[in-house]
Amino acid sequence: METPQVVEIKNMSFAYQARNVLKDVNLTVPQGDFATIVGPNGGGKTTLLKLLLGLLPPSSGTIKIFGTSPAKSRVKIGYMPQYSHLDMQFPVTVMDVALMGRLARCKWGRYSSRDRDAAATALEEVKMDTFKETHFNALSGGQKQRVLIARALCSEPELLLLDEPTSNIDQESEKDLFNILQRLNHRMTILLVSHDLGFTSQVVKSVICVNRQVVIHPTTTIDGTMIKDIYGGDLKMIRHDHRCCEMGHMHD
């Protein structure tokens, strides 16, 4: 039986003020995929996310999410922005932030018991339930990222979009974050923007390369030559599975 396609983009282009940002994009993402979106700064990664969310209309071509328009599918999409774009001084608790994911379902401006149960469940999934009364600003970088994932999970999505979820966090927090995402991938499709191709290629199923145009690669084909083509030049990378010892170089 053929796997359903969550994302279907055909001959799509997007231009901003006469400048082509994305051109002739054809992309399909099957249900259950876990993919990372990579490419140089200004290559169109964040623009692609905004198009998938229906926040921007394509200049030409079509985008379908779950077989319909992004606007109509938005209730099935969870989105996590970079937390650095948020006001860190805003006086909200962890529970307050998680509940924001229920705003689209909130009636009469009040959260229901169902909304609060969904928020509590989402915080438990990312192991932040014991911090629900803690002020968001008091958390570490990794904890903030997990709370923002919980906010996205509150909408009970089938597609999870994450913009630089590993920015500004340490390596241990990064590993914890990907362990959570791998568990979530059992029930939802995940697309994440990341610059850390060396780490994400160990855990994701495919790599979506965005540099004006879009090309998909399985992680097994990623090598130095391909990385140079993706970024348009040499790129410094760190292998997290590589270490040195008295017997010489080793890797997992």
> What residue type is assigned to position 213 of the chain?
Q
Q: What is the mean pLDDT of residues 228-245?
A: 44
Confidence of residue 238 (pLDDT cuts 50, 70, 90): very low
What is residue 86's DSSP assignment? Answer: S
Q: Which long-range contacts (CB under 8 A, 24 or more apart) does 48-51 make?
A: 48/22, 48/210, 48/214, 49/79, 49/161, 49/163, 49/191, 49/193, 51/12, 51/14, 51/22
The Cβ of residue 9 has, within 10 Å, a number of other Cβ atoms equal to 21
Is the model's pLDDT at 8 over the cut of 80? Answer: yes
Q: Determine the Cα angle at 178 with ends 37 and 89, to 5°.
A: 85
Instruction: Give the mean pLDDT of the chain.
Output: 83
Residue 235: per-residue pLDDT: 44
- Position of tokens 């290559």? 43
Cα 97 to the chain's mean position, in Å?
Answer: 18
What digits encode the pLDDT tens for the residues 18-76? 888 999 999 999 999 999 998 888 889 999 999 999 999 999 999 999 999 999 999 89
Is the model's pLDDT at 13 over the cut of 90? Answer: yes
Q: What is the mean pLDDT of residues 91-108?
A: 86
The reported pTM is 0.83
Q: Determine the Cα angle at 153 with ends 127 and 68, to 5°.
A: 160
Residue 199: per-residue pLDDT: 63
Confidence of residue 90 (pLDDT cuts 50, 70, 90): confident
Residue 224: per-residue pLDDT: 56
Residue of 23, 68, 39, 5 whose CA lies nearest to 210: 39
Q: Determine the Cα angle at 159 with ends 199 and 55, to 5°.
A: 100
Is the model's pLDDT at 167 over the cut of 80? Answer: no
Cα distance between the two ends of the chain: 35
Confidence of residue 129 (pLDDT cuts 50, 70, 90): very high
Using an 8 Å Cβ cutoff, are 213 and 180 in contact? no
Using an 8 Å Cβ cutoff, are 50 and 70 in contact? no
Is the model's pLDDT at 237 over the cut of 50? Answer: no
Cα gap 149→238, rounded to integer Å: 25
Residue 11: per-residue pLDDT: 96
The Cβ of residue 172 has, within 10 Å, a number of other Cβ atoms equal to 9
Cα gap 124→95, rounded to integer Å: 11
Residue 19: per-residue pLDDT: 87
Q: Which domains does the chain have, with CATH numbers?
A: 5-221 (3.40.50.300)
Any idea which of 6-15, 56-65, 106-115, 127-136 has the lowest mean pLDDT? 106-115
Using an 8 Å Cβ cutoff, are 54 and 74 in contact? yes
Residue of 36, 27, 82 whose CA lies nearest to 185: 36
What digits encode the pLDDT tens for the residues 173-212? 888 888 999 999 999 999 999 877 766 767 888 889 888 8
